[in-house]
Chain A
Amino acid sequence: QKEVEQDPGPLSVPEGAIVSLNCTYSNSAFQYFMWYRQYSRKGPELLMYTYSSGNKEDGRFTAQVDKSSKYISLFIRDSQPSDSATYLCAMSASYGGSQGNLIFGKGTKLSVKP
């Protein structure tokens, strides 16, 4: 079983739709959860960063963490064509060394159609 599982998609939605992106994980030591957006031929860009369980909202983006279920989500409201990208979840444990580095999901490719 991989440490982080993420549905690769592709996911295609109409403009204005609510998008839900998800990852599951197996390592209960993970405490920090991140979402990165990666446009084609670009490096990943940090979108959201949450610690432990709970919700965090930033504009049209909401990140949710459910540690009891080992499940994290990213919601995008009022999706725009400019949101078309690959979304990567990433997570790390609470201490340094090799456990402190990021473990990424494989990414979900999202396409928002005008």
Chain B
Amino acid sequence: DSGVTQTPKHLITATGQRVTLRCSPRSGDLSVYWYQQSLDQGLQFLIQYYNGEERAKGNILERFSAQQFPDLHSELNLSSLELGDSALYFCASSVEGTGIAGLGEQYFGPGTRLTVT
């Protein structure tokens, strides 16, 4: 168990809908990262927050947004869902937002499996 929790485990929804995925980082970790994993694209970095502030953006669509709250949990909002958004969404956390020590040690949650029908 990595200490990172994600809810829900599974989500089935229809095209055009909006969903919210939730992540609680390990105790003491200030950085939260969101990744999307699909069979054809592999694990893709979406966005990173550090202590409530957006730190880095990857391949995140404009229909997607995220935030990190004062208690450090994070939410990923996916709107106007399309069939191609079906994937596993992982949250990871690490102690540092930048710098040598923390870059490698990201701890992943169990993921949320999103199915868009």
How distant is A31 from chain B, measured CB to nearest CB, in Å? 9
Q: Are B45 and A103 in contact (CB under 8 A)?
A: yes
User: Is residue B103 contacting chain A, with contact meaning CB distance below 8 A?
Assistant: yes
Are A46 and B107 neighbours in the complex by a CB distance under 8 Å? yes
Q: A43-B4, A44-B43, A106-B42 are known contacts. Are A96 and B97 too (CB-CB below 8 A)?
A: yes
Residues in chain B near residue A46, CB distance under 8 A:
104-107
Binds B, one of A9-17, A64-72, A76-84, A87-95: A87-95
A114 at the interface (CB under 8 A from B): no
Which listed segment binds A: B14-22, B68-76, B79-87, B108-116? Answer: B108-116
CB contacts (< 8 Å) of A49 on chain B: these are 104-105
Interface size on B, residues (CB 8 A): 28
The total number of A-B Cβ pairs within 8 Å is 69
Write out the residue numbers on chain B whose beta carbons fall within 8 Å of the beta carbon of A44: 43, 90, 108
Q: Which residues of B contact A104 (CB under 8 A)?
A: 42-45
Contact B4 A105 (CB under 8 A): no
Give, as a whole number of angstroms, the nearest-CB distance from A95 to chain B: 7
**B99 located at the interface, meaning its Cβ lies under 8 Å from any Cβ of chain A in the complex:** yes
Q: Is the CB of B42 within 8 A of A102?
A: no
Q: Is the CB of A101 within 8 A of B58?
A: yes
User: Could you tell me the distance between the alpha carbons of A90 and B45 in the complex, rounded to whole angstroms?
Assistant: 11
Chain A positions within 8 Å of B, measured between CB atoms, are: 32, 34, 36, 41-46, 49, 51, 88, 90, 92, 94-98, 100-107
Interface of B toward A, CB cutoff 8 Å: 2, 4, 33, 41-45, 48, 55-58, 90, 92, 97-100, 103-111
Known: A92-B104, A98-B57. 6 other contacts (CB 8 A): A43-B108, A43-B111, A45-B108, A96-B99, A98-B56, A101-B45
